Amino acid sequence: MMKIAVIGASGFTGAELLRLCANHPDFSVVVATGETQVGAAVADLYPSLAAYYPNLSYAPTDPAAADGCDVAFLGLPHGASQTLVPDLLNRVGHVVDLAADFRLRDEGLYPTWYGEPHAAPDLLAEAAYGLPELFRPGLAGARLVASPGCYPTAASLALAPFLRAGLVEPAGLVVDAASGVSGAGRPPKPNTTFCTVDEDFTAYGLAGSPGDGLGHRHTPEMEQVLGTAVDGSALSAAGDVSVLFTPHLAPMNRGILATCYARPTDDALDTAGALAALAEAYADEPFVVVSDRSPSTKSTYGSNAAHLSARVDPRTGLLVVLSAVDNLVKGASGQAVQCANALLGLDEATGLSTVGVYP
């Protein structure tokens, strides 16, 4: 059995990691940390995990607790991983970080989009971007993986095949995406209480807003991914990728639905051609479903699958690509487990389901 540490196991992504590890035939969680829940039983905070973890309690966030583990998953708020990872890399076989701390290659983007300099910029070049369907070669032998979150995963899976094939213009990409409330994390916030969210649908992180008008902080990550080839080099045909990203909060627990727009480079591209491009790109990927059905968040609930479809509007000529994922699975913890499987030489699908829960 592989020894697993879950650092930051008291949040939603941490709890999802514990759930997925419980169903993994080769993973054994030996430590789960939760700084705000030290000493509390995992089963008390998440009774859904009680049958498998009846005696596991949250430990303090101490890198030494992970000594000798094969993989340490980090489900921490942004900024916290930067101070832990340099130490953890000397204690464990692999680190898979679910935050955005090591996703951007350019350290200069962190002060602009995250409000502070990066604490470990020397590790940015080493971190492999953990979206296997797009960057699988980079995972081979990686010590550190930066696993992307739900919005970048949904948008990148939708648009990357078209940019890599030169089928769409790199500038003027538009991503409108809606997320379930669990994407905001477990700690209560005024804008995520039941009474605020129920019967409501709202956009946030708007570009061009008074004051800080840059937009949502995942924007440069999407632009980086969509301008990068499978080997990590810049796409020669992509030029300067620009994305207008608008996130929305939907009154549901889980799910991401991204509707992405692009201008084709060839007027001959039609819906059949767009669907064929997606199908070809993901023909051998067990976690990507391409069809002419309009994707729904419910169809991916609890699974590590991404559901994709595409249309070309004959009137405007625009390509529309739709992508649905479970924000806590393929958009977070499931993707992290998929990456860990690849790092450890296991089948990527081990312990993960392609089947959603319905109803």
The answer, yes or no, to whether residue 266 has pLDDT greater than 90, is yes
pLDDT digits (tens, 9 = 90+) for 35-87: 999 999 999 999 999 999 999 999 999 999 999 999 999 999 999 999 999 99
What confidence tier does 191 reach under pLDDT thresholds 50, 70, 90? confident
Which pLDDT score is estimated for 238? 58
User: Which long-range contacts link 281-285 to residues 24+ away (Cβ below 8 Å)?
Assistant: 281/160, 281/161, 281/164, 281/165, 282/133, 282/157, 282/161, 282/308, 285/133
* Percent of the chain whose pLDDT exceeds 90: 89
What mean pLDDT comes out for the span 290-305?
Answer: 98
* Residue found by looking up tokens 């832990």 in the block: 84
Query: What dihedral do alpha carbons 316, 288, 20, 188 form, nearest 10°?
Result: 0
What confidence tier does 190 reach under pLDDT thresholds 50, 70, 90? confident
Average pLDDT, the chain: 95
Choice among 192-196, 284-288, 289-293, 318-322 with the minimum mean pLDDT: 192-196
Q: Where are the domains of the chain?
A: 2-126, 151-327
The answer, yes or no, to whether residue 237 has pLDDT greater than 70, is no
Choice among 1-10, 204-213, 241-250, 318-327 with the minimum mean pLDDT: 204-213
Which pLDDT score is estimated for 257? 98
What mean pLDDT comes out for the span 13-38?
Answer: 97
Q: Give the DSSP letter string of 277-314.
A: HHHHHTTT-TTEEE-SSPP-HHHHTTSS-EEEEEEE-T
From the candidates 21, 150, 260, 339, give the one annotated as an active-site residue. 150
Choice among 43-57, 156-170, 195-209, 313-327 with the minimum mean pLDDT: 195-209
150 noted as active-site residue: yes
This prediction's pTM: 0.96
Task: Indicate the burial class of 257 (C-beta count within 10 angstroms; 0-12, 13-18, 19 or more).
Answer: buried
What dotted CATH number matches 151-327?
3.30.360.10
- CATH class of the domain whose range is 2-126: alpha beta
The answer, yes or no, to whether residue 185 has pLDDT greater than 90, is no
Which pLDDT score is estimated for 182? 87
Residue type, 349: A
Which pLDDT score is estimated for 188? 75
| Residue from 202, 171, 161, 152 nearest 331 by CA | 152
The answer, yes or no, to whether residue 211 has pLDDT greater than 80, is no
